[in-house]
Amino acid sequence: MSTGGPCRVAWWGHSTTVVEMGGARLITDPVLTARAGHLTRKSGPAPEPGEFDAVLISHLHMDHLHLPSLRLLAPRHVVGPPGLRALLRAAGIERVTEVEPSDEITVGGIAVRAVPADHEGRRTPWSAPSPALGYLVIGSHRVYFAGDTGLFEGMGALGRGGIDVALLPIWGWGASLGRGRHLDPFTAAQALVRLRPGWAVPIHWGTYAPAWVSRRHPPAFLTQPVHDFAMHAERLAPAVRVSALHPGGELTVP
C-alpha cells in the first residue's frame, strides 16, 4: 500500500500518537502532563514534544482536548470537530480548522481526512452536541487514527481503501469504560477484521488512572487490556501484525 518513503508512528500514552511521513509531523489528542483533571499519569513522562505541523483532535472530552497540553505545544494549527474553535479561542489559540466526516485538508503536503467515529463527543454531558471523529492520514502510507469509538458499519469501507497502520483504542483510564461508546480488547480485535490493516497499534490504555491507583501495584485494568487484545487479534485477524508499544515507543513501516 505504501508509495515511497517510511512512515513512523509513535505512541506517547492514552490517545496521544505522533505520525511522521513525507516530512510532515502530526500529533493526535495530546495529553502530556503528569495530571489531567482527577487523573494522574502512571506510565512515566511523555517525551519532549518538539514542533508539529498540526494537532488532530478527535473529540472534545477533557482527556482528548486537554487545554494545558495544547498550551505546552503552542500549536501552529489545530484540526478538530465543530465546537473546537470557540473552546480554543478562549485559550488564545487562533488557527483552528473545524472538520466533519468526509472533509479532507492538506497539512505539510499530506492529506488528512476526517472519518466517522461511534462515540458521544460533546465536551460535557450538558454541552452542545459535537461529533466524534477519526482520521485517515494519507501520504506515502495510510494511517488510521480511530479516536474514541465503538464498532460501526463504515469501518469496512475504511478498510477497502487500504490501511497500513491502525491506531485503535482498546480501553480507557478506569476499571470500566465510562461515558460514550468504546472499543474494548475483543471489539478492537473485531475492528481489525473490518479494517484489514497491515499493522495495529493498541492505544488508549494503561496511561492515566485516578490518583488513588497505585503505580507500584497497578490494577489489572492498567496492564491486562493489551494482552487480551493481542490474544483476540491473533485469533480473529492473524494476518495483522500487532505492535504493542509502551509510551514513547515507535513503529517504523518502510
Average pLDDT, the chain: 94
Place of cell 495530546: 30
Residue 213 CA to residue 83 CA, distance in Å, equals: 33
Residue 69 CA to residue 65 CA, distance in Å, equals: 9
Q: Which residues contact 80 (CB under 8 A, 6 or more apart)?
A: 56, 57, 58, 59, 60, 65, 96, 97, 98, 99, 133
- Render pLDDT for 58-106 as a digit per residue (tens, 0 to 9): 999 999 999 999 999 988 899 999 999 999 987 788 899 999 999 999 9
pLDDT level of residue 223 (50, 70, 90 thresholds): very high
Query: Which residues does residue 80 pair with via DSSP β-bridges, in sequence order?
Result: 98
Q: Which CATH architecture has domain 7-248?
A: 4-Layer Sandwich (3.60)
- Render pLDDT for 24-35 as a digit per residue (tens, 0 to 9): 999 999 999 999
| pLDDT at position 93 | 87
